[in-house]
Amino acid sequence: MALDRRELLKLGLLSALAPYAPGAASHTARTILQAGNDRSDYTIRIAPGLVELGPGHIISTTLYNGQFPGPLLRFTEGTPVTVEIHNDTDTPEQLHWHGQSVPPDVDGAAEVGTPFIPAHGSRRISFTPGPAGFRFYHSHVRAGADLSKGQYGGLVGPVYIEPKHHAGDYDREVFLVLKEFQPGLSRGGDMPMNVLGPAAKVKALEDAGDSAMKASLASGKAHGFEVGYSLFSINGRLAGHGEPIRVRHGQRILFHVLNGSATEIRSLALAGHTFRVVGLDGNPVPAPVRVPVLWIGTGERVSAVVEMATPGVWMLGDTADDDRRHGMGIVVEYAGHKGKPVWLAPKPFRWDYTRFGSTQAPATPDETIDLTFAKDNAAADGFNVWTINGRSFSMDDPAPIGRLQRGRRYRLRMRNASDDIHPIHLHRHSFELTKVAGKPTSGVLKDVVMLGGYQQLELDFVANNPGLTLFHCHQQLHMDFGFMALFDYE
Ligand SMILES: [Cu+2]
């Protein structure tokens, strides 16, 4: 009997076996579906659980359905689904459908009015998945100084929304979820440098950021807190401890990579191979070009085809030696090859979104909104406070920063007056990059974009999904300390 994907899901088979080609058997997946003809198509249970990252590294955290990553949810574009979410923890939760154009009561953010999933309670939601492509779901509660909450724990899972027609230019799909564990605070951080291209900085932003920082330090404040981690994983396993990705010479593997980190920017390289980037944040790109390194901001996704043309045993890993040695990697093993995985450091490579874009001029916006982001060093008990146009977001005063009109095309001109890279996210809408650090582009559709230190970036979106809409930096420490704003329209 031939079963289609949906029938397999109903039997609970696909959820347990298909999500992560490497190491599928290692997942202690409970079925994500209730048996029989229950009214909900999917059941997700939020509860404390254990993740065995590797020998001697078993961590206790909060999980979806007892596993990390959460189960891969495969939806079909345009086919309505009902999801029942149980919360077996002691605190209210929010499950955010990242990258989907859902209404505010489904979105999964208290800031736009989604009801909480009560502690030891449940919530049933129905929505029509879309747009097609690689999305994800994650916790959207404020963690603040509590590094066990929000996205610091294990509440991250991938979503794949099947398009009506498949591209088919690959032999196999492999989903990879990058995630750190065991967070801790330090004064100052080690954000990677030379990540983004073009590298052009805006002098006025640099001057403003520098002088604010100097004034803060001169007043006796130390550098604000940053988060670091001691364990790193791909698909919930330390490098070398899960099943390898087993490939054959000549195969084309379509990797769907999700940066599920709460705070970090990640890179990936595979010696002897290049990545042909075909999708960013689940959306096909106008120019699918080859690159030697992927750079992926918090909450971003990259879909890339790798042609398996260099037989051997390789480490697919982060270019940061320390992070890779602490687990951020996965072994790629060709059939007939054994041995220790080989890592070869790639040359430094800057990630330029415009390489994947079109040179055609983007559509003209109806209105441009200027947004300037700034850091108030160590202003809240040692934590940096973040502002958008001088205002730090708080639920005590959640008034929208902008009132929009339905159907209009808006351009956000974003200016970063800090030296940090910010992965900027807009809920419930996709946006189009129109200018990156002075370089025009079009056709790259995303829902998170990295804005470089002291850089400027422009993106457009059409107000086509009414209601409160959250806009924020996806870096948990930044969003939790003010880097958020609301738009609203009817
Ligand atoms: Cu940020």
pLDDT of residue 209: 97
- Between the CA of 40 and the centroid of ligand 1 the distance, in Å, is 36
Banded pLDDT at 33 (limits 50, 70, 90): very low
**Alpha-carbon distances, residue 383 vs 122, 143, 228, 299, 440 (angstroms):** 33, 13, 14, 22, 35
Question: Of 15-29, 32-46, 70-84, 335-349, where does mean pLDDT reach its minimum?
Answer: 15-29
Helix, strand, coil percent values for the chain (each to nearest 5)? 10, 45, 45
Across the chain, what does the average pLDDT equal?
92
Residues shown for the chain? 490
Q: Can you give the three-state secondary structure of 322-380, one letter per residue?
A: HHHHCCCEEEEEECCCCCCCECCCCCCCCECHHHHCECCCCCCCCEEEEEEEEEEEEEE
- Between the CA of 421 and the centroid of ligand 1 the distance, in Å, is 6
- Between the CA of 376 and the centroid of ligand 1 the distance, in Å, is 13
- Between the CA of 9 and the centroid of ligand 1 the distance, in Å, is 37
In the predicted structure, residue 12 carries a pLDDT above the cut 50: no
- Between the CA of 296 and the centroid of ligand 1 the distance, in Å, is 14
- Between the CA of 402 and the centroid of ligand 1 the distance, in Å, is 20
- Between the CA of 451 and the centroid of ligand 1 the distance, in Å, is 9
pLDDT of residue 39: 66
- Between the CA of 425 and the centroid of ligand 1 the distance, in Å, is 10
- Between the CA of 27 and the centroid of ligand 1 the distance, in Å, is 32
pLDDT of residue 118: 98
- Between the CA of 155 and the centroid of ligand 1 the distance, in Å, is 20
Burial 24-34 (b: 16+ CB within 10 A, else e): eebbebbbbbe
Tens of pLDDT, residues 332-390: 999 999 999 999 999 999 999 999 999 999 999 999 999 999 999 999 999 999 999 99
Q: How many other C-beta atoms can be found within 10 angstroms of the C-beta atom of residue 250?
A: 10
- Between the CA of 420 and the centroid of ligand 1 the distance, in Å, is 7
- Between the CA of 39 and the centroid of ligand 1 the distance, in Å, is 40
Q: How far apart are CA 407 and CA 4, in angstroms?
A: 38
Pairing relationship of beta strands 402-403 and 422-426 according to DSSP bridges: unpaired
Banded pLDDT at 164 (limits 50, 70, 90): confident
pLDDT of residue 318: 98
- Between the CA of 261 and the centroid of ligand 1 the distance, in Å, is 13
- Between the CA of 218 and the centroid of ligand 1 the distance, in Å, is 24
* 57-86 mean pLDDT: 97
- Between the CA of 416 and the centroid of ligand 1 the distance, in Å, is 10
- 3-state SS class at 269: strand
- Between the CA of 423 and the centroid of ligand 1 the distance, in Å, is 6
- Between the CA of 477 and the centroid of ligand 1 the distance, in Å, is 8
- Between the CA of 342 and the centroid of ligand 1 the distance, in Å, is 34
Tens of pLDDT, residues 174-210: 999 999 999 999 997 777 878 999 999 999 999 999 9
Ion ligand 1 residue ranges (Cβ < 5 Å): 422, 473, 475, 478
- Between the CA of 329 and the centroid of ligand 1 the distance, in Å, is 25
In the predicted structure, residue 470 carries a pLDDT above the cut 50: yes
- Between the CA of 70 and the centroid of ligand 1 the distance, in Å, is 25
Exposure of 320 by Cβ count < 10 A (0-12 exposed, 13-18 middle, 19+ buried)? middle
Exposure of 169 by Cβ count < 10 A (0-12 exposed, 13-18 middle, 19+ buried)? exposed
* 422-445 mean pLDDT: 98
- Between the CA of 375 and the centroid of ligand 1 the distance, in Å, is 9
- Between the CA of 306 and the centroid of ligand 1 the distance, in Å, is 31
Question: Of 18-22, 113-117, 470-474, where does mean pLDDT reach its minimum?
Answer: 18-22
- Between the CA of 418 and the centroid of ligand 1 the distance, in Å, is 9
Q: Which among 372, 406, 366 has a CA at the least distance from the CA of 392?
A: 372
Tens of pLDDT, residues 264-316: 999 999 999 999 999 999 999 999 999 999 999 999 999 999 999 999 999 99
pLDDT of residue 192: 80
pLDDT of residue 189: 75
- Between the CA of 373 and the centroid of ligand 1 the distance, in Å, is 9
- Between the CA of 277 and the centroid of ligand 1 the distance, in Å, is 25
Q: How many other C-beta atoms can be found within 10 angstroms of the C-beta atom of residue 422?
A: 28
Q: How far apart are CA 69 and CA 242, in angstroms?
A: 13
Residues ≥6 apart with Cβ < 8 Å to 393: 111, 472, 482, 483, 484, 485, 486
- Between the CA of 374 and the centroid of ligand 1 the distance, in Å, is 10
Banded pLDDT at 166 (limits 50, 70, 90): low
- Between the CA of 57 and the centroid of ligand 1 the distance, in Å, is 30
Q: How far apart are CA 287 and CA 309, in angstroms?
A: 22
- Between the CA of 422 and the centroid of ligand 1 the distance, in Å, is 4
- Between the CA of 294 and the centroid of ligand 1 the distance, in Å, is 20
- Between the CA of 340 and the centroid of ligand 1 the distance, in Å, is 38
- Between the CA of 299 and the centroid of ligand 1 the distance, in Å, is 12
- Between the CA of 154 and the centroid of ligand 1 the distance, in Å, is 21
* 223-240 mean pLDDT: 97
Bridge partner list, 90 = none
- Between the CA of 415 and the centroid of ligand 1 the distance, in Å, is 12
- Between the CA of 474 and the centroid of ligand 1 the distance, in Å, is 6
- Between the CA of 446 and the centroid of ligand 1 the distance, in Å, is 17
- Between the CA of 456 and the centroid of ligand 1 the distance, in Å, is 14
Tens of pLDDT, residues 109-147: 999 999 999 999 999 999 999 999 999 999 999 999 999
In the predicted structure, residue 415 carries a pLDDT above the cut 80: yes
Q: How many other C-beta atoms can be found within 10 angstroms of the C-beta atom of residue 7?
A: 12
